[in-house]
């Protein structure tokens, strides 16, 4: 009977718009059928799965099931009636929240909201769902199609206020994105003009969005994230990850305490080692503060806070290291200090222990030079704040064993990080690719472009903050230390400026000192500083640089290109050298490590949308005008000559992995 109805509906609707057929099949064949359908939900009911369930006569769920409409994460909207049924089941505000944030709800909350009709154990699920179907059939349970429920809907006046607020928030949080606004439009159309009109609007919007650049970019990132755990020649060898039961972290500073926080939050016992009581107390205090912030936000209960903190133990020596399975060194960027630490670790840790460093720039071969354990030395590069940022850059040398890489990939998954395996070089993948980012910005400022215009243009492009606000946040000391590494290793293509040294000399060190490129009030709000001009003029004078009239009045587009095209250029070098084996790994690393806009698909995916020929021609033009910093690399030149995408697989690349 059901098959006959589906075929009949298809014949009747054959002259309708594409996409509307499937929506009406769900509405008329399932929801309007005399034979009741009951959705039995256990595990995940996301996207189309939930949309079909909402068209059923009832929904029965287990407490642990997850229900949601995450389509906006892929640049599309729910296209099988989700924008119409969800508001009628849970109310307009909650429905918009679920769709715009893509956050699922668990079975218990879904039941409280009215999204599911009953909550049962997994063992009873199918039997009770059958019973409900019979009760509906025999009219023992009243039933109203989801599409026509009105008891959860607000008045039209209240609804318009909700839509107005939702649009304001969507434009504030994602000013470059169209699909959240289209999603709101579809919900509103259904409330104002009725569910059938809403369904038609939903289909039109879905057709428009599925071919958009935003959707293509977000789908690319979706698969890049899932593919990052596959490392050719490592994860395809059948190795089983060893269980890491206990972790030690060396250094309780900002990074070390953040790393320790990430591990205790994931149920790992952690030893935090420092050089003296004062530093140790400060490190434990930072971990405590990280956890307390979760209590304040309502994410963690006080009881859970105490249990989580109890997993952390402090130490001033290596006595407790005899049974640790992994050590992560997170001390200052000093080669000789790190060499001594790793020589000590080799003595005190068991032979199977993974010896990891959180260094962001120093060559791992140098760090392990004084040991005989180079097969278990690996980079575990977290991004600050380590317990929040989702990327874990796994850095291997030519000596690192495949087993250790597999182990760390598994640990990354367990602490809820997205791991990207990269090769060993100065800056590794992420920091090396992005070292021209701040240098290009400084280059423009010294030649006349306004600091605050640059930050506004880059933020408008989609970065969380501009390069100068980022410098303030990170701190000038860190910026100088990492910058020196690149100057030493890539002298021919680094831009050397006196601006930071001059500001450091005057005790302007960034947000921590309330003065940097911005000045900060008591609430740490950043404000432009008129005094900055004198530092810029002094830096110009020392460097012998003059203001270039062409660069004084740059458009936002030109600013974005002059800052990001050198980044693309370095990304091409990293890819060509085999530091990463897949272009998609650089894309996911740029998004999760540096905040490159997800909806642009990552650094190389975005570059391909701009075109290799155009990027090459612009860099070539600037290199003739301004020097080697902008000179396009051989890989970019070759791809541009062929009109080939930059992200295409590299043939016969000499791998540094």
Phi, then psi, of 352 in degrees rounded to 5 = -85, -10
Phi, then psi, of 462 in degrees rounded to 5 = 130, 0
C-alpha to C-alpha distance for 259 and 275, rounded to whole angstroms: 18
Say if CB 116 and CB 57 are below 8 A apart. no
Residue 645 CB neighbours (<10 A): 15
Alpha helix segments (H runs only) across 102-212: 107-113, 125-137, 156-173, 179-193, 195-209
Question: H helices then E strands: how many in the chain?
Answer: 29, 16
Say if CB 423 and CB 405 are below 8 A apart. no
Task: Report the sign of the C-alpha dihedral through residues 371, 372, 374, 375, in that order.
Answer: negative
| Active-site residue, selected from the candidate residues 71, 188, 329, 393 | 71
Beta strand ranges found along 295-427 (DSSP E) = 312-315, 326-329, 354-357, 377-382, 391-396, 418-423
C-alpha to C-alpha distance for 645 and 568, rounded to whole angstroms: 12
Query: Which of 594, 599, 618 is CA-nearest to residue 437?
Result: 594
Contacts (Cβ under 8 Å, ≥6 apart) of 308: 264, 265, 291, 300
Phi, then psi, of 59 in degrees rounded to 5 = -130, 125
C-alpha to C-alpha distance for 356 and 303, rounded to whole angstroms: 32
Beta sheet of 38-41, edge-to-edge order? 38-41, 58-61, 118-119
Locus of tokens 């650094």 = 603
Is 51 a catalytic site residue? Answer: yes
C-alpha to C-alpha distance for 629 and 565, rounded to whole angstroms: 11
Euclidean distance between the first and the last CA atom of the chain, given in angstroms as a whole number:
59
Residue 57 CB neighbours (<10 A): 23
| Active-site residue, selected from the candidate residues 31, 51, 446, 577 | 51
Residue 204 CB neighbours (<10 A): 17
Query: Which tokens is 355 given?
Result: 């010896």
Q: Are strands 247-250 and 270-273 parallel, antiparallel or unpaired?
A: parallel
The partner residues of 250 in beta bridges, in order of sequence, read 273, 329
Beta sheet of 105-106, edge-to-edge order? 44-46, 66-68, 105-106
The partner residues of 392 in beta bridges, in order of sequence, read 382, 419
Phi, then psi, of 102 in degrees rounded to 5 = 60, 20
C-alpha to C-alpha distance for 220 and 419, rounded to whole angstroms: 17
Residue 64 CB neighbours (<10 A): 12
Is 71 a catalytic site residue? Answer: yes
Locus of tokens 């505000």 = 93
Task: Name the packing angle between helices 430-446 and 451-461 (round to 10°).
Answer: 140
Phi, then psi, of 556 in degrees rounded to 5 = -60, -40
Query: How would you write 355-389 as a 3-class SS string?
Result: EEECCCCCCHHHHCCCCCCHHHEEEEEECCCCCCC
C-alpha to C-alpha distance for 524 and 6, rounded to whole angstroms: 61
C-alpha to C-alpha distance for 621 and 627, rounded to whole angstroms: 10
Residues with catalytic function: 51, 71
């Amino acid at each position: 009977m059901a098959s006959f109805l589906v075929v009949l509906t298809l014949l009747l609707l054959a002259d309708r718009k594409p996409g509307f057929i499937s929506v009406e099949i769900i509405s008329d064949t399932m929801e309007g059928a005399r034979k009741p359908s009951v959705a039995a939900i256990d595990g995940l009911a996301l996207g189309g799965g939930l949309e079909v369930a909402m068209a059923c006569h009832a929904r029965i769920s287990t407490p642990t099931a997850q229900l949601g409409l995450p389509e906006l994460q892929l640049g599309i909207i729910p296209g099988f009636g989700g924008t119409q049924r969800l508001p009628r089941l849970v109310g307009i505000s909650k429905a918009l929240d679920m769709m715009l944030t893509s956050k699922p709800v668990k079975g218990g909350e879904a039941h409280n909201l009215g999204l599911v009709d009953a909550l049962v154990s997994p063992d009873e699920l199918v039997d009770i769902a059958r019973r409900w179907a019979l009760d509906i059939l025999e009219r023992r349970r009243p039933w109203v199609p989801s599409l026509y429920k009105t008891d959860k809907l607000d008045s039209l006046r209240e609804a318009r206020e909700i839509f107005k607020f939702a649009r304001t928030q969507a434009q504030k949080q994602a000013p470059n994105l169209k699909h959240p606004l289209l999603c709101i439009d579809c919900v509103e159309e259904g409330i104002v003009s009725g569910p059938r009109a809403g369904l038609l609007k939903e289909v039109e919007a879905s057709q428009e969005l599925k071919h958009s650049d935003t959707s293509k970019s977000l789908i690319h990132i979706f698969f890049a994230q899932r593919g990052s755990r596959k490392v050719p020649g490592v994860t395809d060898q059948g190795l089983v990850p060893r269980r890491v039961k206990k972790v030690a972290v060396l250094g309780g500073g900002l990074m070390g305490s953040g790393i320790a926080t990430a591990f205790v939050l994931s149920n790992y016992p952690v030893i935090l080692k420092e050089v003296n009581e004062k530093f140790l107390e400060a490190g434990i205090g930072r971990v405590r503060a990280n956890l307390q912030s979760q209590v304040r936000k309502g994410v963690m209960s006080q009881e859970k806070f105490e249990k989580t903190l109890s997993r952390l133990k402090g130490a001033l020596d290596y006595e407790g290291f005899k049974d640790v399975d992994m050590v992560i060194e997170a001390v200052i960027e000093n080669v000789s200090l790190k060499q001594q630490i790793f020589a000590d670790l080799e003595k005190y840790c068991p032979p199977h222990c993974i010896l990891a460093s959180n260094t962001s720039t120093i060559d791992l071969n140098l760090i392990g030079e004084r040991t005989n354990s180079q097969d278990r030395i690996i980079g575990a590069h977290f991004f600050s704040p380590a317990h929040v940022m989702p990327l874990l850059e796994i850095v291997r040398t030519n000596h690192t064993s495949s087993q250790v890489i597999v182990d760390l990939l598994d640990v990354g998954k367990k602490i809820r990080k997205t791991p990207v395996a990269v090769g060993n070089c100065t800056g590794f993948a992420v920091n090396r690719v992005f070292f021209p980012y701040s240098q290009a910005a400084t280059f423009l400022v010294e030649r006349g472009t306004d600091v605050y215009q640059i930050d506004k243009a880059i933020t408008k492009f989609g970065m969380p903050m501009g390069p100068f606000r980022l410098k303030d946040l990170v701190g000038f000391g860190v910026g100088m230390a990492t910058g020196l590494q690149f100057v030493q290793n890539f002298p021919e293509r680094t831009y050397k400026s006196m601006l930071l040294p001059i500001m450091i000399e005057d005790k302007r060190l960034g947000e921590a000192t309330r003065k940097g490129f911005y000045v900060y009030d008591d609430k740490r709000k950043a404000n432009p500083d008129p005094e900055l001009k004198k530092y810029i003029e002094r830096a110009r004078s020392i460097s012998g640089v003059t203001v270039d009239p062409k660069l004084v009045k740059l458009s936002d587009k030109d600013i974005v290109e002059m800052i990001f095209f050198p980044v693309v250029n370095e990304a091409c070098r990293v890819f060509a050298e085999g530091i990463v084996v897949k272009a998609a790994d650089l894309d996911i690393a740029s998004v999760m490590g540096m905040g490159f806009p997800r909806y642009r698909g990552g650094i190389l995916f975005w570059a391909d949308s701009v075109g290799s020929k155009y990027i090459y021609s612009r860099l070539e033009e600037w290199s003739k005008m301004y020097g080697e910093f902008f000179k396009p690399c051989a890989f970019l030149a070759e791809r541009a000559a062929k009109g080939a995408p930059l992200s295409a697989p590299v043939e016969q690349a000499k791998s540094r992995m």
